[in-house]
Amino acid sequence: MSDILISSPGGVLAVLCAVAAFWFYVEQVSALKLFQYIPPLIFIYATPVFLNNLDVIPASSPVYSGLSSYALPAFIVLMLIKVNVPATVKIMGKGILVMLMGTAGVVAGCVVAYVIVHRWLAPDAWTGFGALAGSWIGGTGNMAATSEMLNTPPEQFGLAVLADNVVYIVWLPILLASRNFADRFNAWANVPEDRIRMMDSAAALVHEEEKAPQMRDYIYLAAIAIGVTWIAAALAPILFDTMMGIAPDLQVVLSESTWRILLITTIALSLSVTPLSKLPNATVMGTALIYIFVAGMGARATIEGFGQAPAFLLGAFIWIFIHGAFCLAGAKLFRVDVHSVAIASAANIGAAASAPIVAAFHRPSLVPVSVLMALIGYALGNYLAPLAGHLARLAAGQ
């Protein structure tokens, strides 16, 4: 430990926060088009990887376990209390069903792609596929939460981050360009003529501006996040011990950590239908914690794991093709327009960071609801992504 330049917990946490802040600052002040295609996330993950391997910060620190114990449950709560299913359904109608079809495509694609490429990957690569399923169902927060539930090694998490961003570079332009084929697509899908007009009208009625936050709002949010974390941490061991007494074989799928995160997810979703969902800035605070957590994951990784990148990326592209096929099938089955389909896919694959970009390009009136759609994906991710990972493992005979 004496060879490490910065080893104290305070110093390590400061470095992780500084890395996240630096890359967002570079994105903000630079005119680089790079950030239009590659989000800061990959740089926020990769920088601590190199700092660790160059002995600037340690590969093991109490900070990393602390982020898992406290930051992760906090951002799950902060993100999920803003889920608004009724408003989203009112605006998007059957567009929600297309998003759910896309989600099913992510789960199916995870299994199929892993079966095809797993022979070239490490035996624990299914955990990386599960983490990537989390990102593609709901976003980076789900990726982090799923990696915790599946005990994903940092190297596999890094491969998931890499695949997520490489596929994003290809998939986002496709979603944006689909607007140019709106008339032909809508004719192919037999979209009702008044669908788009009805969406615009519903969006105008439902949309409401979030109020400016006050000091007490942050106190409320902190109390909620910490309280839910405490309750889940107290109940998880009880449920795990009960399960071990009844069906001990389930521990492969439902570890104590998994119980804890599923409890946090469920409690937070139940709070989303209460007045607590009106508290401002919850999503912003949660997102900030996610990026610091991702930096912490990078700090634990080694560069050796990236030798599996070609096979992992091949699996990711097979996977995204399957997701796209499911979205097209949903559009045809439910007679949904190309704008809704593109937003639905972006809400899965790119989550809250990309869905508004696609919505603004396709239909600006749908920008607010695109965020709500992404949050619905976030609500599903902590349940379905670990399932996808385990289904991939079982399908590959591991």
Q: How many domains does the chain have?
A: 1
Residue 28 lies in a domain: no
326-382 pLDDT, tens digit per residue, is: 999 999 999 988 888 999 999 898 877 788 888 888 877 777 778 888 888 888 999
Q: Place 37 in a pLDDT band, splitting at 50, 70 and 90.
A: low
Residue 276 lies in a domain: yes
Identify residue 173 by its one-letter amino acid code.
P
Residue 293 near residue 66, CB atoms below 8 Å: no
Residue 388 lies in a domain: yes
**DSSP SS3 for 285:** helix
Q: What is the pLDDT of residue 203?
A: 66
Q: Which of 138, 215, 179 is nearest to 380 (CA)?
A: 138
Angstrom distance (rounded) from CA 263 to CA 205: 34
Entry field: residues in the chain: 398
Residue 192's domain comprises 83-281+305-395
Residue 279 near residue 272, CB atoms below 8 Å: no
243-279 pLDDT, tens digit per residue, is: 999 988 888 888 898 999 999 999 998 998 899 888 9
Instruction: Provide CB contacts within 8 A for 341, sequence distance 6+.
Output: 95, 98, 178, 185, 327, 328, 330, 331
Phi, psi of 274 (to 5 degrees): -105, 170
Instruction: Provide CB contacts within 8 A for 224, sequence distance 6+.
Output: 77, 81, 271, 276, 279
Q: What is the pLDDT of residue 202?
A: 66
Residue 47 lies in a domain: no
Angstrom distance (rounded) from CA 254 to CA 149: 8
313-337: burial string, b at 16+ Cβ within 10 Å, e else? bebbebbbebbbebbbebbeebebb
Cα–Cα distances in angstroms (integers) from residue 253 to residues 71, 153, 384, in the given order: 23, 16, 12
Residue 291 near residue 100, CB atoms below 8 Å: no
Residue 338 lies in a domain: yes
139-164 pLDDT, tens digit per residue, is: 888 999 999 999 999 889 889 988 99
Instruction: Provide CB contacts within 8 A for 60, sequence distance 6+.
Output: 300
Q: Place 121 in a pLDDT band, splitting at 50, 70 and 90.
A: very high
| Tokens 């997102």, residue located | 287
Q: What is the mean pLDDT of residues 174-197?
A: 86
Residue 143 lies in a domain: yes
**DSSP SS3 for 283:** helix
Angstrom distance (rounded) from CA 303 to CA 315: 20
DSSP string, 26-74: HHHH---THHHHS-HHHHHHHHHHHHHHTTSS-S--HHHHHIIIIIHHH
**What is the overall mean pLDDT for the chain?**
88
Q: Place 138 in a pLDDT band, splitting at 50, 70 and 90.
A: confident
Query: Which H or E run includes 293?
Result: helix 282-299
CA distance from start to end of the chain: 36
Residue 292 lies in a domain: no
Residue 371 near residue 352, CB atoms below 8 Å: yes
> pLDDT at residue 84 above 70?
yes
For the chain, percent of residues with pLDDT exceeding 70 = 95
Residue 287 lies in a domain: no
| Tokens 């957590």, residue located | 293
Angstrom distance (rounded) from CA 102 to CA 26: 33
